[in-house]
Structure formats: structure tokens, C-alpha cells
């Protein structure tokens, strides 16, 4: 296994095309990467047990809703998306409407699609910087995401990012969080994220 510093940069790295970056990721499948808008590669660390359990619960609830309403597709944290600013990001959970998916051909679906999900979730772990995650949520919104949730389950707060609106805070984990109007009928039962 190769060892990489947290942030990988250099003239060649920052000039990699999307296809070269995809091949680089495939050649290093044991390591999870993101790429920022400047072309710098970020090495992602594995999650802790608690974070993985919480993320699994979020994906479970999102999948149950999606199977019932059949309005799009859900993906997990291993899925990369090329954004219009040049970054490649992988949210902890995402939902993409069939309307957006219909714009992609099979070759895009077999790579990191050039597409921003309609809805994303970023789940803060103990080692994450809240400032960095807020910047990442802003980046998702600037690139076309309609609804984004930054969940800090330890502090029991959700920062809600919605297209065209100011960021809101949801501070009651005893009350479900609604995905309306972008995800009709979806409610995340936040109390299930308590450990």
C-alpha cells in the first residue's frame, strides 16, 4: 500500500484531466480521494465505528424513502462527482433525481459523473473541521445542489443549506428533519443518530 500526505499537490497533479484523475483513483483503489477546485488531491481517512454506524442509518432511511417514492437514485460515500468548478467530491450520502440522471450516458455512470446531486449529506466526525465542512457544503450549493445537510450528531445540530436561502440550523434531534420540497415525503429521524 502506498502512503500519501493528506494534501497531494504539484504541477502534474494539479493538471490531471478528469480521465487521468479517474485512472489514478482506479490504480489506487485502497485509498479514497477527493480533488479540490485547484486540482489538489485530498486523501480521505477511514471513518470511526460511530461515524460509520450513523452514516449507515442515514443511508438506510434515505433508501427506504427512495424505494417507496421512486423519484431518483441514492448513493453512498464511495461515489465521486465531478463538479463544474473542477473539484471531485464524494458526499457521505446523496440523492439524484431521475431528471438529472437522464442527462448522463452509461460511460458517465461508469466513472465519476459530471453532475451535482440534488441532495447531499455531510456527516461530521470527531476529526473533521466544522469550518472545512461548511466550506464544502457551500461548494456543493454553488455547483447546483438543491438541498444539503451538514449533520453534527455529537452536538445534535444540523446546518441546512437550500438553494436561494440563508443557512438554517435545526437543533432538536427529537424532531424529524424534513426534506421538503426537494425530497417529497422524506423525513430523517435524527434521534436514530444518537449513540
30 and 57 belong to one structural domain: no
Q: How many domains does the chain have?
A: 2
Q: How confident is residue 10, by pLDDT bands cut at 50, 70 and 90?
A: low
59 and 134 belong to one structural domain: yes
Q: Within 13 Å, how many C-alpha atoms sit on residue 77's CB side?
A: 21
39 and 53 belong to one structural domain: no
**For position 5, what pLDDT does the model report?**
40
**Across 3-7, 26-30, 64-68, 159-163, least confident range:** 3-7
DSSP code, position 114: B
**For position 1, what pLDDT does the model report?**
33
30 and 63 belong to one structural domain: no
32 and 86 belong to one structural domain: no
133 and 144 belong to one structural domain: yes
Q: How far apart are CA 52 and CA 92, in angstroms?
A: 10
**For position 9, what pLDDT does the model report?**
59
**For position 12, what pLDDT does the model report?**
62
75-82 mean pLDDT:
95
39 and 59 belong to one structural domain: no
**Across 13-17, 39-43, 97-101, 120-124, least confident range:** 13-17
Whether the pLDDT of residue 140 is over 90: the answer is yes
Whether the pLDDT of residue 130 is over 90: the answer is yes
For 156-183, the pLDDT digits (tens) are: 999 999 999 999 999 999 999 999 999 9
Q: How confident is residue 13, by pLDDT bands cut at 50, 70 and 90?
A: low
24 and 54 belong to one structural domain: no
Let me know: does 78 contact 32? Beta carbons within 8 Å: yes
Q: What is the CATH number of the domain that holds 161?
A: 3.90.1570.10
Whether the pLDDT of residue 98 is over 60: the answer is yes
75-100 mean pLDDT:
96
Burial class of residue 22 in the structure, from the number of CB atoms within 10 Å of its CB (0-12 exposed, 13-18 middle, 19+ buried): middle
Q: How confident is residue 138, by pLDDT bands cut at 50, 70 and 90?
A: very high
Strand duo 41-44 + 32-35: pairing: antiparallel
189 and 111 belong to one structural domain: yes
Which residue, chain included where needed, has cell 465531478?
82
* Domain span holding position 64: 47-193
**For position 45, what pLDDT does the model report?**
84
Which helix (H) or strand (E) segment holds residue 34: the answer is strand 32-35
Whether the pLDDT of residue 71 is over 90: the answer is yes
Which residue, chain included where needed, has cell 465521486?
80
**For position 8, what pLDDT does the model report?**
55
117 and 152 belong to one structural domain: yes
Choose between 45 and 190: higher pLDDT: 190
135 and 58 belong to one structural domain: yes
113 and 156 belong to one structural domain: yes
Amino acid at each position: 500500500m502506498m502512503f500519501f500526505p493528506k494534501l497531494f499537490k504539484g504541477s502534474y497533479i494539479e493538471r490531471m484531466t478528469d480521465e487521468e484523475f479517474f485512472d489514478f483513483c482506479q490504480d489506487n483503489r485502497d485509498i479514497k480521494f477527493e480533488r479540490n477546485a485547484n486540482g489538489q488531491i485530498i486523501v480521505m481517512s477511514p471513518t470511526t465505528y460511530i461515524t460509520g454506524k450513523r452514516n449507515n442509518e442515514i443511508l438506510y432511511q434515505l433508501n427506504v424513502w427512495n424505494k417507496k417514492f421512486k423519484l431518483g437514485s441514492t448513493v453512498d460515500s464511495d461515489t465521486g462527482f465531478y463538479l463544474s468548478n473542477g473539484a471531485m467530491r464524494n458526499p457521505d450520502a446523496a440523492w439524484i433525481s431521475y431528471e438529472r440522471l437522464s442527462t448522463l450516458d452509461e460511460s458517465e455512470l461508469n466513472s465519476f459523473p459530471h453532475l451535482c446531486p440534488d441532495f447531499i449529506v455531510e456527516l461530521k466526525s470527531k476529526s473533521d473541521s466544522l469550518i472545512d465542512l461548511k466550506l464544502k457544503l457551500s461548494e456543493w450549493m454553488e455547483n447546483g445542489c438543491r438541498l444539503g445537510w451538514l449533520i453534527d450528531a455529537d452536538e445534535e445540530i444540523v446546518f441546512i443549506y437550500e438553494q436561494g436561502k440563508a443557512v438554517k440550523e435545526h437543533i432538536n434531534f427529537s424532531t424529524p428533519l424534513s426534506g421538503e420540497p426537494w425530497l417529497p415525503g422524506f423525513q430523517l429521524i435524527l434521534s436514530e443518530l444518537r449513540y
